[in-house]
Chains A and B, each alone.
Chain A
Amino acid sequence: MIKKIIILLLVVGVGLALFFFLRGRSEKEQQSQVEMAVEITSVKEIAEWEFLTVEMEEFEDTVIPRMIISDDQFARIYKGTARLGVDMKEAASDWLITSHDTVWIKLPDIRILDEDIIDDTQTRTFYENGKITPAIKSALYERAKRDMRLRALSKENLSSASENAKAQFTYMFRSMGFKTVLFE
């Protein structure tokens, strides 16, 4: 009986000590990073003219049914930029013909210049419940990329990029002394 009372008193004492000791306590996390260098995997010379920038956000979600308790759910917001323009490496050999003060230009088709348009470092997780595997994240990324590309390649955007391309090339060649700039 006495032992029990002593133990009880000890527990109460420790509890009180902790109460005073940890008054206004806050748990803080100290952070540090082990720096690793950037590895350049490839370098490529390109000649891509961008004429229209479309910045987008895409909301993607998925639900994985579970037999017990609630379903797994995952929702993410992806951020991406579609750069519409022309790749001069696709231009025909006779894309530029000049005669006196006139220039004829045949530009390649307008397209999205980048294969990947999502900046995954800016992806935000909107909701996360349950076990989310890398395969699910990968599938959502691909779906967001597909949806963004479709949306960026609207008739209005393609037309706007094409008009701007003509305006910019006209301006550039007039700066070099040409009076007439024609497009095919």
Chain B
Amino acid sequence: MKRYGWLAIMLALLMEGCFFSKTPEEMGRDVVLSVSNCSRLYTVQYNVHKVLTHQDFSKIEGSFFFEKISIPIPGERKVVLPMDATVKAYIDFADFSEENVSIVGDKISITLPTPRIEMTSSRIDYENEKQFLSWNRSRFSEEEKESLLKAGRAKVLEDMKGTDIIERSQLCAYNALLPLVTAAGFRRENVVIRFSEDVLGKKHDGVLIREMVGDDLSELK
């Protein structure tokens, strides 16, 4: 009887091995989700570091003679995940047209949309990941960590809005575009670059956010 038991276990293990060894090879390995033309000027790059933390504890919820009750289970677990990310700010030239440029005599005014920010890459430092577990709690699964990382990504972008990234991006955009405009024959002091929110597609009637003139170099330092 024991022999059959061992035989059954061996067979089960063999089948498991066969089944899983096929799975990855059968998968479509790589996918190009989209390829799209664009026109963006990236002007500033921030490298950031954030330590993502998460903790939870369990409780049992049930009913006792139709009364809802909740009992916390002693023990908690915590995870610490450090991450490094690159956040860039860019000016989107997708809708740039002649309407964005106004030339009056020897003066030129270019109106640009407000810079946007994007996380261009991120990397989790798994070498320094830490988990603190009570004896009765299980380790965080990869799936649980994924939801923490998604929340962390959103938080990093939210936190970046509180920095000077937009202002710095505007100054850097000015620095990047000035050589183009002066090469086109306009004197530095006659160049105005404006940043505005587009209102109903009328670029020059938008809400003015910032205006930079060629001879105002104090802001660039």
Contact with A along B1-45 (1 / 0, CB 8 A): 000000000000100110011011001111111111111111111
Structural contact, A121 and B45, CB atoms closer than 8 A: no
Structural contact, A28 and B123, CB atoms closer than 8 A: no
CB nearest to B51 among chain A residues: A36
Residues of the A chain whose Cβ atoms lie less than 8 Å from the Cβ of B55: 31-34
Q: Complex formed: what's the CA distance from A62 to B176 in Å? A: 45
Contact with B along A122-165 (1 / 0, CB 8 A): 11111111000010011001000001100100000100100010
Residues of the A chain whose Cβ atoms lie less than 8 Å from the Cβ of B48: 38-41
Structural contact, B97 and A175, CB atoms closer than 8 A: yes
Q: Least Cβ distance of A156 to chain B in Å?
A: 9
Within 8 A of A (CB), among B43-64: 43-64
Residues of the A chain whose Cβ atoms lie less than 8 Å from the Cβ of B83: 120-121
CB nearest to B64 among chain A residues: A21
Residues of the A chain whose Cβ atoms lie less than 8 Å from the Cβ of B31: 56-57
Q: Least Cβ distance of B80 to chain A in Å?
A: 9
Structural contact, A52 and B38, CB atoms closer than 8 A: yes
Residues of the B chain whose Cβ atoms lie less than 8 Å from the Cβ of A120: 83, 121-124, 149
User: Counting CB contacts under 8 A, is B136 at the interface?
Assistant: no
User: Counting CB contacts under 8 A, is B153 at the interface?
Assistant: yes
Q: Given known contacts A70-B13, A116-B86, A119-B122, is B44 in contact with A43 (CB within 8 Å)? A: yes
Q: Least Cβ distance of A64 to chain B in Å?
A: 12
Structural contact, A46 and B42, CB atoms closer than 8 A: yes
Structural contact, A43 and B38, CB atoms closer than 8 A: no
User: Counting CB contacts under 8 A, is A22 at the interface?
Assistant: yes
Q: Complex formed: what's the CA distance from A41 to B49 in Å? A: 7
Residues of the A chain whose Cβ atoms lie less than 8 Å from the Cβ of B156: 38
Residues of the A chain whose Cβ atoms lie less than 8 Å from the Cβ of B180: 96, 172
Q: Least Cβ distance of A151 to chain B in Å?
A: 7
Q: Complex formed: what's the CA distance from A59 to B64 in Å? A: 49
Residues of the B chain whose Cβ atoms lie less than 8 Å from the Cβ of A61: 24
Structural contact, B32 and A168, CB atoms closer than 8 A: no
Structural contact, B54 and A31, CB atoms closer than 8 A: yes
User: Counting CB contacts under 8 A, is B152 at the interface?
Assistant: yes
User: Counting CB contacts under 8 A, is B204 at the interface?
Assistant: no
Q: Complex formed: what's the CA distance from A41 to B51 in Å? A: 13
Q: Complex formed: what's the CA distance from A120 to B128 in Å? A: 15
Residues of the A chain whose Cβ atoms lie less than 8 Å from the Cβ of B218: none
Residues of the A chain whose Cβ atoms lie less than 8 Å from the Cβ of B52: 36
Structural contact, A22 and B60, CB atoms closer than 8 A: yes
Q: Given known contacts A50-B90, A70-B13, is B57 in contact with A29 (CB within 8 Å)? A: yes
Structural contact, B51 and A49, CB atoms closer than 8 A: no
Q: Least Cβ distance of B161 to chain A in Å?
A: 11
Residues of the A chain whose Cβ atoms lie less than 8 Å from the Cβ of B60: 22, 25-27
Query: Which residues does B use to contact A, with CB under 8 Å?
Result: 13, 16-17, 20-21, 23-24, 27-65, 69, 73, 83-86, 88, 90, 93, 96-98, 100-101, 103, 108, 119-124, 126-127, 129, 141-143, 146, 149-153, 155-156, 159-160, 163, 168, 172, 175-176, 179-181, 183-185
**What 3 A-B pairs come out closest when comparing CB atoms?**
A25-B62, A125-B142, A134-B126
A-B residue pairs in contact (CB < 8 Å), sample of 22: A21-B64, A22-B60, A31-B54, A46-B42, A49-B40, A50-B41, A52-B38, A53-B35, A58-B29, A59-B24, A70-B16, A73-B24, A75-B23, A116-B121, A118-B123, A119-B119, A120-B124, A121-B152, A123-B146, A123-B149, A137-B124, A160-B35
Q: Other CB < 8 Å A-B pairs besides A43-B168, A58-B30, A120-B149, 8 of them?
A: A26-B61, A27-B60, A36-B50, A40-B48, A45-B175, A55-B33, A70-B20, A122-B150
